[in-house]
Structure 1
Amino acid sequence: MGQVLDVVAPVFAIIAAGFLAHWRGMIGKAGIAGLNSFAFAVATPALLFASGTAGHSGGGWAGLVFFTAAFAVYGGVLLAGRWRGWSLRRSGPMALDATFGNTVMMGIPLILAAYGQQGLSILLVIIALHSLLLLTTATVVSELAQNAQARKWLLLRVSILGVMRNPIVMAVLSALVWSTLGLPVPDWLRRALNLVGAATPGVSLFCLGASLVGFNLAAGWRQMSVTVVAKLLLLPAMVFCLCRLLGLS
């Protein structure tokens, strides 16, 4: 229990600091938006590229397990919504809520704290495909919910191209190509990437806390309770069982 608190307590302390700073007006919306843009478009890509070219390997099986479970839950929520008589326009966002994790702002700091660089290298596989697979699927489902006659292949192509412009995805794919080609990263560049990337965990958590200001928990608690059960109980349980089945550590 003490080890868990050592990892989790600093994470939630920084989230609380971000919430309080924004709530008290110490940092306004423009400042938070700037910090968020820095974390998303500069610091995180630097960290992911540095990690992806550091020579660590692994994560393929972890990615397979995660996305197998994620799409099982995604489909399950859609089917449950159909059984309840919900429209695709309502059940589609719920399915995304139940499967799309905060792999960057929350995932990176937690993984770094618990498992270090080797853990982050494994997480890279999930981050690389996370938006590409889940957001593309959600976009297609959303468009079909609004227009059943929509051209599916055109939707798929546009969605994939949109996700590919994501700086997080581009950083991971660039690191994969760089490593595959065996290209060296100059020492000065790696030090620069590490310096900028080191800001990712703290800034991301701070912005995450600030984003909670004004969040109305009471407004959507019924729908939220469904997605919380699916996301924080069902999905992790499925991942755990699949990992045990495949003999993963």
Structure 2
Amino acid sequence: MAAVIAILPIFGLIVLGYVLGWRRWLSHDSIGGLSWLTFRVFLPCVLLTGIARAPLGEALSPLLLVVYFVPALALFAGFNVWTHWRSGLPSAEGLAASYSNNVLIGIPMISALFGPQGLVYLFALLALHSLVMFSTQSLYAALGHGRDKRPGVLSLLKTLANPLVVGLLIGALINLADIELPAPLWQLLDWLARAGLPCALIVVGVGLTRYRLRSSLRIWRICLGKLVLMPLLVLALGLAIPGLNPLALQVLVLAAANPIGVNVLAFAAPGKEQHTVGASIFLSTLLAAGTLPLWMLMMG
């Protein structure tokens, strides 16, 4: 019951955002302005204040990254070998099955369940999440077809060098260098950070109105791989390798169980694959409302 109560406000705000977008109660300019503020101001402040105050210590352990990224890359490879064998072309399906929405859904969920003690592990993961997965996808695309059909190096760098990464880096610098910020500045950053999570979830809901709910074996396979197989692999590896903090393992499993991140759509080929990935994002977000509480209960 506690797991359901923890996740209800998260998906309640997503539903609110969907209704606002579906009914067009928010104008196009309003949605654009809210999204800009959320991703360039509010969420960077969430990451900055969180990691600046977090006890980094064990969170910087390579074991944390091994337990998460080995299963993620294995799933990425498995899906892409299958789809490439059938179509002869690289796709974004492997990325969809292995890339979690760990900012928009992960941060509010981990914050509600574990507080700052859990967020430090998620922040350590976020520092490399996009870098590892997007770089792997770009390399795979480069080996699979011509330069005109893959995200370029400049596009990748723009994706990685974003305000979220900047917020993480500034927060880490403040923490590691033990920099004392003036109290009024901390207050300002805290106020901005408090607006980040609810606004981010509303933006997710509004964004889902761009996708259509489709159903096919392909889409269900991607969603099951993301919501069931990936957290299961992370849990199995975390239990098999000794030395990982139990709280860290809980955070990693729940991060792996998050729905597909919306940024995957940027790597999908126009046409049928974009429709498939978009529908997978939509369906995985809906299904996560039921699967995430189950993973929470399983992890205690």
Worse-matched range after superposition: 31-40 or 160-169 = 160-169
2:192 maps to amino acid: V
Q: Aligned partners of 2:143 and 2:154: how far apart in 1?
A: 14
Q: Aligned partners of 1:131 and 1:47: how far apart in 2?
A: 18
Tell me the equivalent position of 2:192: 196
**Secondary structure of 1:134's partner?**
helix
Runs of 4+ in structure 1 deviating by more than 6 angstroms, as ranges, are none
1:5 maps to amino acid: V
1:225 maps to amino acid: W
Q: Aligned partners of 1:211 and 1:164: how far apart in 2?
A: 21
Alignment of 1:151-170 (within 5 A): 158=154, 161-170=157-166
1:214 Cα deviation after fit: 4.2
Contact 1:45 1:168 (8 Å CA) reproduced: yes
Question: Given the alignment of the two structures, is residue 41 of structure 1 paired with residue 40 of structure 2, yes or no?
Answer: yes
Contact 2:76 2:98 (8 Å CA) reproduced: yes
Alignment of 1:120-139 (within 5 A): 120-139=119-138
**Secondary structure of 1:104's partner?**
coil
Question: Given the alignment of the two structures, is residue 212 of structure 1 paired with residue 214 of structure 2, yes or no?
Answer: no
Tell me the equivalent position of 2:255: none
1:19 maps to amino acid: Y
Residues 1:82 and 1:23: Cα distance change in structure 2 (over 3 Å): closer
1:140 Cα deviation after fit: 2.5
Question: Given the alignment of the two structures, is residue 244 of structure 1 paired with residue 239 of structure 2, yes or no?
Answer: yes
Calculate percent identity across the aligned residue pairs: 26
Residues 1:242 and 1:185: Cα distance change in structure 2 (over 3 Å): farther
1:38 Cα deviation after fit: 1.1
Tell me the equivalent position of 1:172: 168
Q: Aligned partners of 1:3 and 1:162: how far apart in 2?
A: 40
Contact 1:139 1:159 (8 Å CA) reproduced: no
**Secondary structure of 2:227's partner?**
helix
Worse-matched range after superposition: 92-101 or 27-36 = 27-36
Of the two structures, which has the highest relative contact order with CA contacts closer than 8 Å and spacing of 6 or more?
1
Tell me the equivalent position of 1:74: 76
Q: Aligned partners of 2:84 and 2:21: how far apart in 1?
A: 40
Contact 2:98 2:226 (8 Å CA) reproduced: yes
- Give the TM-score, by structure 1 length: 0.88
1:164 Cα deviation after fit: 3.7
**Secondary structure of 1:56's partner?**
coil
- Give the TM-score, by structure 2 length: 0.74
Tell me the equivalent position of 2:270: none
Return 5+ residue gaps in structure 1 as ranges: none
**Secondary structure of 2:208's partner?**
coil
Return 5+ residue gaps in structure 2 as ranges: 247-300
From 170, 186, 189, give the equivalent of 2:182: 186
Tell me the equivalent position of 1:101: 100
Contact 1:163 1:169 (8 Å CA) reproduced: no
1:197 Cα deviation after fit: 0.7
Contact 1:136 1:159 (8 Å CA) reproduced: no
1:230 maps to amino acid: G
1:235 maps to amino acid: M
1:181 Cα deviation after fit: 2.3
**Secondary structure of 1:102's partner?**
coil
1:159 Cα deviation after fit: 6.2
